[in-house]
Amino acid sequence: MTSDDQYQYGKMNRPNNMDKLVFILLFIFPVLYGYPDKEEILREINKETKELLFADNIPRKLIDMVKGIKNIKDKTIRSEMVCRTCEQVIDNVIDLRKSEATKDVMVDYLNKLCRAYTDNSPDACKGYVNIDIDSVLFIIDHKKDFTPARFCAIRLQHYQCVDPDADPWTIPLPPPPSITNPSVHPVNGTKEMQVLHLTDIHYDPLYKPGSNAKCADPLCCDSGTPANPEDAAGFWGDYNVCDTPLHSIDDLFSRIKEKHKNLDLIYFTGDIISHRSWSTSIQENREAIRLVLQYFAKTFPNTTVFPILGNHESHPSDYFSPEVTLTTNVTTEWIFDLVAQEWSKWLPNDTQSTIKHGGFYTALVRPGFRIVALNSNVCFTTNLWLLYQDKDPFDQLLWLVQVLALAEKNGEKVHLLSHVPPGEESCHKQWSNQFKKIILRFAKTITAQFNGHTHIDEFRLFLDNEEPVNVAYNGASFTTFVGYNPNYRIYQVDSSELTVTNYDHYIYNLTKANENSNVPPQWFKLYSFKDAYGLEDLSLKSLKSLFINMNTNNSDNALAEKYYRYRGRESDSYLKEKCDDNCKKTIICCITSVETSTTLNC
Ligand SMILES: *[C@@H]1O[C@H](CO)[C@@H](O)[C@H](O)[C@H]1NC(C)=O
Ligand SMILES: *[C@@H]1O[C@H](CO)[C@@H](O)[C@H](O)[C@H]1NC(C)=O
Ligand SMILES: *[C@@H]1O[C@H](CO)[C@@H](O)[C@H](O)[C@H]1NC(C)=O
Ligand SMILES: *[C@@H]1O[C@H](CO)[C@@H](O)[C@H](O)[C@H]1NC(C)=O
Ligand SMILES: *[C@@H]1O[C@H](CO)[C@@H](O)[C@H](O)[C@H]1NC(C)=O
Ligand SMILES: *[C@@H]1O[C@H](CO)[C@@H](O)[C@H](O)[C@H]1NC(C)=O
Ligand SMILES: [Zn+2]
Ligand SMILES: [Zn+2]
């Protein structure tokens, strides 16, 4: 029931210091020192959860206990407590439905659970439950072996919850070729291509400059008068929990059109829809998706756009339902049908069948240069349908292997587009593990990967026996969600080798832009990769040495400091949070963590 990005960005929780003190005194301290014991706290939570069904008010005590558990410092104890609490809660939900509870009773109970276990406002909880309820009930009613352990192991995989019945599925790989086919090089070596990378626009049709930017909902800046004038939503966007107004999108496209007349290709790696995921609808998502894609088409009539789906495009947000739901009202096939049609202006028509099947496709840019565009959102742990079936949804990874094997055979080079980056901690562990295996196997065919979703400017390096074999670039985000400066990026790509040789990252200072709403934001180049990090090129070898230099020079490490600053595009809001040595270690560790289970240990 929580909005997907809540865990990731952390900033959406608004901890109250007084509450924290109460938990520490009442719960954490006793938990760590053995009194009252863990079992007693779990029993208490279970009792309260059951009684919630009949409660008129949400007991504050329950919220406190759960938050207290999340604050436990000892990782093992915390994980055990979180997982067992989760299992108890879900057990109660399943039991209630199995005892013939009606949809109305379930809605009422889920609402109470949402209020008791999350920071969502009553309105947001109500919205989430109404949107989710039919899918939730479909899964409880139709999935025979649905267990609380399954729910918690998938949904709370970052707490290392375990499902003893989990199926460790694998995707078979063809053996490496005995002879490597020569690459197809139909283009003369010297020319470089310019590739625009845009990602995570998150258009908010309700954005209202001057409205309250500090509200109780998971997304603000749409209504209300701020108590404090400083909390009024900025004209061009806001560092608070807010998405993007239409006039900022308009400015983005006019700026790129004016300044970059030599674009060869455009990669758009998803997330058009705002984070107001408790009140989306198919109709409104459809309109927003059409509108934003129209901007691409109208601004760049002569440039091919390769778009992919973000997790937010669907309704309910993040859900991608399997074929078994096709004839029911919980199916999400509308989103595949919509983009099959909307993307067709850029794509060959033989992409239609895979897009309609699962939202992914492959297309040749020219002989020897292939795009593979994934719908990696299916691996997102908030995709409820993973609970129904987590084994390679839509057979996408199986398809990926076939496409890459054929590309390898034909001597083609591949650019891989995928919304969710490798190693993202909310990507299903098994999917992530198999994806990594596939990349390692076809590392010579894939010359670069392009991602979005985290809203962070970062890159990931695939190592095979310590040797760098592949790289994934994250285009960060145009949305400011949460606390970032908006950006776009332009890669220089070697026309012949199809490797990225450099990129330029463009931003504006949102604080400054908002000082004067009458003039357009002042875009500028924040950095060029090679210059910024003192590299001769962006070869895998150079990237590895950059990684090593960041790692070995710990304190006063200028490279790591730079990497940190650029992650949030040097926004005033982001720079306020200092990154100490531990924080730097974590972000550097993430560079070579290309699989969920490794990232969780960073
Ligand atoms: C590549 O260069 C050669 C010799 O300069 C020229 O004959 C050929 O047409 C060029 N090919 C392309 C695809 O530009
Ligand atoms: C696109 O191409 C057409 C035909 O070559 C040309 O008339 C038009 O000016 C181009 N538009 C842009 C925006 O470059
Ligand atoms: C969807 O179908 C289910 C089962 O047939 C039904 O109970 C539910 O009310 C329907 N929901 C809507 C919004 O029509
Ligand atoms: C794709 O295009 C070809 C040629 O224009 C046409 O014959 C074929 O029917 C099209 N297929 C689909 C699925 O639209
Ligand atoms: C952004 O602009 C504001 C207002 O002009 C300024 O105070 C601030 O220092 C700038 N931030 C950065 C990181 O340059
Ligand atoms: C650490 O940084 C310094 C200065 O930036 C550089 O000269 C040195 O080679 C780096 N050390 C390692 C082990 O890379
Ligand atoms: Zn996003
Ligand atoms: Zn996303």
Q: Quick one: pLDDT at residue 63?
A: 83
In this prediction the pTM is 0.92
Asked whether 472 and 422 are in contact (CB, 8 A), the reply is yes
For residue range 270-287, list pLDDT tens digits in order: 999 999 999 999 999 999
Rounded to the nearest whole angstrom, what is the distance from the C-alpha of residue 43 to the centroid of ligand 8? 37
Rounded to the nearest whole angstrom, what is the distance from the C-alpha of residue 61 to the centroid of ligand 8? 33
Residue 228 forms beta bridges with which residues? none
Query: Is residue 414 a part of any domain in this protein?
Result: yes
Can you tell me the distance from the alpha carbon of 263 to that of 178, in angstroms, rounded to the nearest whole number?
Answer: 38
* Spatial CA neighbour of 32 closest among 84, 63, 82, 68: 68
Asked whether 485 and 510 are in contact (CB, 8 A), the reply is yes
Which residue has the CA at smallest separation from atom 2 of ligand 2? 302
Q: Are residues 229 and 250 in the same domain?
A: no
Q: Are residues 426 and 567 in the same domain?
A: yes
Rounded to the nearest whole angstrom, what is the distance from the C-alpha of residue 348 to the centroid of ligand 4? 9
Asked whether 307 and 343 are in contact (CB, 8 A), the reply is yes
Rounded to the nearest whole angstrom, what is the distance from the C-alpha of residue 227 to the centroid of ligand 5? 25
Q: Quick one: pLDDT at residue 9?
A: 31
* Spatial CA neighbour of 254 closest among 242, 246, 264: 246
Asked whether 507 and 238 are in contact (CB, 8 A), the reply is no
264 is in an annotated binding site: no
- Whether residue 303 has pLDDT greater than 90: yes
> Which ligand number lies closest to the CA of residue 348?
4
- The gap from C-alpha 119 to its chain's centroid, in whole angstroms, comes to 20
Rounded to the nearest whole angstrom, what is the distance from the C-alpha of residue 588 to the centroid of ligand 6? 16
Rounded to the nearest whole angstrom, what is the distance from the C-alpha of residue 36 to the centroid of ligand 1? 79
DSSP three-state, residue 1: coil
- Whether residue 553 has pLDDT greater than 70: no
Residue 370 forms beta bridges with which residues? 364, 414
For residue range 96-137, list pLDDT tens digits in order: 999 999 999 999 999 999 999 988 999 999 999 999 999 999
Determine whether the shortest distance from the Cβ of 262 to ligand 6 is under 6 A.
Answer: no
311 is in an annotated binding site: yes
- Whether residue 8 has pLDDT greater than 50: no
Q: Are residues 138 and 215 in the same domain?
A: no
Residue 188 CA: which ligand 1 atom is closest? 1
- Whether residue 31 has pLDDT greater than 60: no
For residue range 518-539, list pLDDT tens digits in order: 999 999 999 999 999 999 999 9
Q: Which of 188, 190, 366 to mutate to test the pocket of ligand 1 (most atoms within 8 A of CB)?
A: 188
537 is in an annotated binding site: no
For residue range 37-48, list pLDDT tens digits in order: 789 889 999 999
Which residue has the CA at smallest separation from atom 12 of ligand 6? 549
Which residue has the CA at smallest separation from atom 2 of ligand 3? 329
- Whether residue 16 has pLDDT greater than 50: no
Burial (CB count <10 Å: 0-12, 13-18, 19+), residue 185: middle
List all residues 6 or more positions away from 141 whose beta carbon is below 8 Å from its beta carbon.
97
Query: Is residue 171 a part of any domain in this protein?
Result: no
> Which ligand number lies closest to the CA of residue 478?
7
Can you tell me the distance from the alpha carbon of 317 to that of 128, in angstroms, rounded to the nearest whole number?
Answer: 10
* Spatial CA neighbour of 120 closest among 224, 313, 275: 275
Q: Are residues 227 and 362 in the same domain?
A: no
Judged by phi (left if over 0) then psi (alpha if -120 to 50, else beta), residue 465 lies in left
Which residue has the CA at smallest separation from atom 11 of ligand 5? 572
Can you tell me the distance from the alpha carbon of 13 to that of 347, in angstroms, rounded to the nearest whole number?
Answer: 41
Residue 349 CA: which ligand 4 atom is closest? 1
Q: Are residues 199 and 232 in the same domain?
A: no
- Whether residue 147 has pLDDT greater than 70: yes
Q: Which of 104, 329, 330, 332 to mutate to test the pocket of ligand 3 (most atoms within 8 A of CB)?
A: 329
List all residues 6 or more positions away from 218 whose beta carbon is below 8 Å from its beta carbon.
3, 6, 12, 120, 121, 124, 241, 275, 276, 277, 278
- Of the pLDDT bands very low, low, confident and very high (cuts 50, 70, 90), residue 564 is very high
Q: Pocket residues for ligand 2 (CB within 6 Å)?
A: 301-302
Please report, for the domain that includes residue 434, its CATH number. 3.60.21.10
Tell me the backbone φ, ψ of residue 435, rounded to 5 degrees.
Answer: -60, -45
Half-sphere exposure of 462 (CA within 13 A, CB side): 26
* Spatial CA neighbour of 22 closest among 69, 64, 73: 64
Q: Quick one: pLDDT at residue 11?
A: 31
> Which ligand number lies closest to the CA of residue 137?
3
> Which ligand number lies closest to the CA of residue 545?
6
| 115 token code pair | 């209020």
Q: Which of 480, 487, 508, 512 to mutate to test the pocket of ligand 5 (most atoms within 8 A of CB)?
A: 512
Query: Is residue 165 a part of any domain in this protein?
Result: no
Query: Is residue 180 a part of any domain in this protein?
Result: no
Specify the residue for token string 């929580």.
2
Can you tell me the distance from the alpha carbon of 547 to that of 458, in angstroms, rounded to the nearest whole number?
Answer: 12
Asked whether 339 and 307 are in contact (CB, 8 A), the reply is yes
Query: Is residue 61 a part of any domain in this protein?
Result: yes
Can you tell me the distance from the alpha carbon of 273 to that of 421, in angstroms, rounded to the nearest whole number?
Answer: 19
Which residue has the CA at smallest separation from atom 3 of ligand 2? 302
- Give the mean model confidence (pLDDT) for residues 407-419: 97
- Give the mean model confidence (pLDDT) for residues 343-356: 98
Which residue has the CA at smallest separation from atom 14 of ligand 2? 302
- Of the pLDDT bands very low, low, confident and very high (cuts 50, 70, 90), residue 71 is confident
Rounded to the nearest whole angstrom, what is the distance from the C-alpha of residue 265 to the centroid of ligand 1? 21
Can you tell me the distance from the alpha carbon of 44 to that of 360, in angstroms, rounded to the nearest whole number?
Answer: 47
Residue type, 507: I
Determine whether the shortest distance from the Cβ of 511 to ligand 5 is under 6 A.
Answer: yes
DSSP three-state, residue 353: helix
Rounded to the nearest whole angstrom, what is the distance from the C-alpha of residue 261 to the centroid of ligand 2? 11
Degrees to nearest 5, angle at CA 185 with 180 and 189 = 125
Burial (CB count <10 Å: 0-12, 13-18, 19+), residue 187: middle
Rounded to the nearest whole angstrom, what is the distance from the C-alpha of residue 271 to the centroid of ligand 8? 6
Determine whether the shortest distance from the Cβ of 352 to ligand 4 is under 6 A.
Answer: yes
Q: Which of 544, 546, 551, 553 to mutate to test the pocket of ligand 6 (most atoms within 8 A of CB)?
A: 553
Rounded to the nearest whole angstrom, what is the distance from the C-alpha of residue 48 to the centroid of ligand 1? 75
Q: Are residues 131 and 249 in the same domain?
A: no
| 388 token code pair | 């129904």
Rounded to the nearest whole angstrom, what is the distance from the C-alpha of residue 350 to the centroid of ligand 4? 8
- Of the pLDDT bands very low, low, confident and very high (cuts 50, 70, 90), residue 3 is very low
Q: Are residues 269 and 286 in the same domain?
A: yes
CA dihedral (235, 239, 241, 244) positive or negative: positive
357 is in an annotated binding site: no
- Give the mean model confidence (pLDDT) for residues 540-556: 86
Asked whether 422 and 463 are in contact (CB, 8 A), the reply is no
Q: Are residues 437 and 548 in the same domain?
A: yes
- The gap from C-alpha 18 to its chain's centroid, in whole angstroms, comes to 32
Percent of the chain at pLDDT > 70 equals 92
Residue type, 323: E
Residue 570 CA: which ligand 5 atom is closest? 13
> Which ligand number lies closest to the CA of residue 367?
1
> Which ligand number lies closest to the CA of residue 513?
5
Q: Are residues 199 and 148 in the same domain?
A: no
**Going along 169-317, which residue ranges are E strands?**
192-198, 265-268, 304-307
- Whether residue 254 has pLDDT greater than 80: yes
Q: Are residues 339 and 480 in the same domain?
A: yes
Query: Is residue 172 a part of any domain in this protein?
Result: no
**Average per-residue pLDDT for the chain:** 92
Which residue has the CA at smallest separation from atom 1 of ligand 3? 329
Q: Quick one: pLDDT at residue 566?
A: 98
Determine whether the shortest distance from the Cβ of 17 to ligand 6 is under 6 A.
Answer: no
Rounded to the nearest whole angstrom, what is the distance from the C-alpha of residue 301 to the centroid of ligand 2? 7
User: Which domain range does residue 234 map to?
Assistant: 208-238
Q: Are strands 524-528 and 500-507 parallel, antiparallel or unpaired?
A: antiparallel
Query: Is residue 300 a part of any domain in this protein?
Result: yes
Q: Are residues 379 and 528 in the same domain?
A: yes
- Compute CA distances 132 → 136, 157, 377, 393, 578, whole Å: 6, 21, 17, 20, 38
Number of domains into which the chain is organized: 3
271 is in an annotated binding site: yes
> Which ligand number lies closest to the CA of residue 347?
4
- Whether residue 222 has pLDDT greater than 50: yes
Q: Are residues 234 and 287 in the same domain?
A: no
| 260 token code pair | 């970059």
Percent of the chain at pLDDT > 90 equals 85
**Going along 339-475, which residue ranges are E strands?**
361-366, 369-373, 413-417, 446-451, 457-464, 467-475
Query: Is residue 185 a part of any domain in this protein?
Result: no
| 513 token code pair | 């832009």
